[in-house]
Structure 1
């Protein structure tokens, strides 16, 4: 393996900025790599967030067209930064990474062992979600992967308490799962317009909306499928997605057993709050960088266990619950051990009680 130990990040928005910040925290705590950040079409209003990354130790990249040299006297060229890197994370606006995939065959990227895209870049590569699909990266390292969407992380988090060691155990207990995804419309950090009322998200396959299809894509990579359905609406809220779930099981369980399984999962959270604005606000007030980082937040007062039926809600920390998956993939690409210290540090940033 090359001695190159750099992570090259493209994009500094609601996904890229906290990802860069977390990697810089890990770099400062454990060492082992450098972090290069390439802003996407840098605007003057974005200078403070770039300065915060520079203060943490990032190296800012000018690609010749993104305007970095206009605002910053010290920068590194894209060619030099890529040459020092073995992992590339593309956190640019939706659809950009898919369009760049052919660009990544250029010889300038020969040092890159793995390209990682975020969210809805479905033609980029197989989906990855930690810890559920960790086996995908334990085999020969894929050249391209895309980290699952925030809601896919939450759907997988809803089901994770129902197996002990591997998601492949799910079919032995789970008869059927139905998910209703209540989507927030515009991220608070963006100037997108709000919808004026509930807007239907149309079904697109036998599983319903794309949410169910994406979850089964994760499981298909692991060699199995489950019976599920999903539906969705978008509402005029800027805070969090909220998922209503209804599960039918093959045997009866106790509510205490399920609550214990949720609470003992390092990447799931519980709450006594009953509104997404309150959950969001708790994360803003108490979380690192104002974020929650868990895959799902379960309001325990709404959790119903009726023998073989389970009903409840889980809120999606939409701009933060993908990052630990990405960091695991980064470590694999760098050839660094994702050992107990690293995992303990990352589980420690999760707000277990929101």
Structure 2
């Protein structure tokens, strides 16, 4: 049958991912793309028709009826609701796909791993693995494209956790400015100003600013915790990790978050303290030297967002962050104990969904063949932009 990728979930990540996998299926070395849909809701008929028309295969749960009433799932229920004829049942796809990408809402990926993916991995040595998105901390090895490929181990890492869009932003800034092994990083703090909802969502919008709590006693919010976990995979020992990033109870990466009444983009304020003296031009050159970072002259999210809408894949920017060099401020100092230091302040725009999509496709390609994944995702890397 060839390489088979199954996507669970058709929301803001799942739907464009299905579109990307079907559009670039040949270049990615994928023979079959299938996806799960649980309930035959009338408002999703058009979306599913488009995905099937592009070559994805619809999979549904077995027939379920409520107390002898109308069917709530199963092939007949979907056909009665006007959907394309399902190709197979979801349990068959879970049991047969080479790679499974879970794009369901928060917490469900962990549950699906326990129910479906881990038992499959235990009994089937040919199962390449499963990938989860965003807020599924603990699902598997944390991953972001071009951040920690060297930490992935063939045959061992069958469960991969693609980190959230803001974690991508934080991690790429830390590696760009702190060094590939974070050898220049003394400390860092990030304030994530999150959009209230996606443009495709009706609920969750707010009229103003909503302050977030610091729910993590050590990191502040999950953004720093997830970035710490991601970057920790770069170190061979806990001692080395603690020397660079600090121990988990005394980390050198902290974060805060709030939510703003906008549907465009998240924005992050970064405050980094680096070892040594660094000029503004040197900092900008380091940012410009990272292929997944885009520079812009724009200061506002509507215009950055509009570039993705007009020129990105499905309206999305695949870069991990977007920075206006004019927001970069450099403050040199000298400590009698630690020597020369440079504090960096900057603002960055987070291409939500898009940066996670790039890492998701890279993770799929890596699970299918770690030796050739970089060449096969060239077809997706072309969506990266250098200037916005």
TM beyond 0.5? yes
**Partner in structure 2 of residue 201 of structure 1:** 212
Task: Look at both structures and tell me which one has the larger radius of gyration over its CA atoms.
Answer: 2
Runs (5+) with no aligned partner, structure 2: 63-72, 236-240, 246-251, 333-341
**Residues 82-231 of structure 1: pairs in structure 2 closer than 5 A:** 82-104=94-116, 105-106=118-119, 110=124, 112-162=127-177, 166=180, 169-170=181-182, 172-203=183-214, 204-223=216-235, 224-225=241-242, 226=245, 227-231=252-256
Report the 3-state secondary structure (helix = DSSP H, G, I; strand = E; otherwise coil) of the residue aligned with 2:228.
helix
Shift of 1:49: 2.2
Contact kept, 8 Å, 1:69 with 1:75, in 2: the verdict is no
**Partner in structure 2 of residue 352 of structure 1:** 386
Shift of 1:322: 0.7
**Pick aligned residue for 2:53 from 35, 55, 61:** 55
Contact kept, 8 Å, 1:244 with 1:312, in 2: the verdict is yes
Matches of 2:37 and 2:101 in 1, distance apart?
Answer: 12
Shift of 1:316: 0.8
Contact kept, 8 Å, 1:12 with 1:40, in 2: the verdict is no
Shift of 1:143: 3.0
Shift of 1:302: 0.9
Matches of 2:262 and 2:306 in 1, distance apart?
Answer: 13
Contact kept, 8 Å, 1:297 with 1:315, in 2: the verdict is yes
**Residues 183-332 of structure 1: pairs in structure 2 closer than 5 A:** 183-203=194-214, 204-223=216-235, 224-225=241-242, 226=245, 227-307=252-332, 308-332=342-366
Matches of 2:375 and 2:99 in 1, distance apart?
Answer: 21
C-alpha spacing 1:15/1:231, structure 2 compared with 1 (3 Å) = same
Shift of 1:118: 0.4
Report the 3-state secondary structure (helix = DSSP H, G, I; strand = E; otherwise coil) of the residue aligned with 1:290.
coil
**Partner in structure 1 of residue 39 of structure 2:** 41
**Partner in structure 2 of residue 28 of structure 1:** 26
Shift of 1:77: 2.7
The C-alpha deviation readout for 1:106-157, integer Å capped at 9, x for no partner, is: 4598453211110001132231112212123234432322110111001012
Runs (5+) with no aligned partner, structure 1: none
Between 67-76 and 177-186, the greater mean CA deviation after superposition: 67-76
The C-alpha deviation readout for 1:167-197, integer Å capped at 9, x for no partner, is: xx20x21111111111111121112232233
The C-alpha deviation readout for 1:59-116, integer Å capped at 9, x for no partner, is: 1112223654442225223344344411111101222112222211445984532111
Between 213-222 and 283-292, the greater mean CA deviation after superposition: 213-222
Matches of 2:40 and 2:344 in 1, distance apart?
Answer: 47
TM-score (norm 1): 0.90
Matches of 2:28 and 2:134 in 1, distance apart?
Answer: 27
**Partner in structure 1 of residue 13 of structure 2:** 15
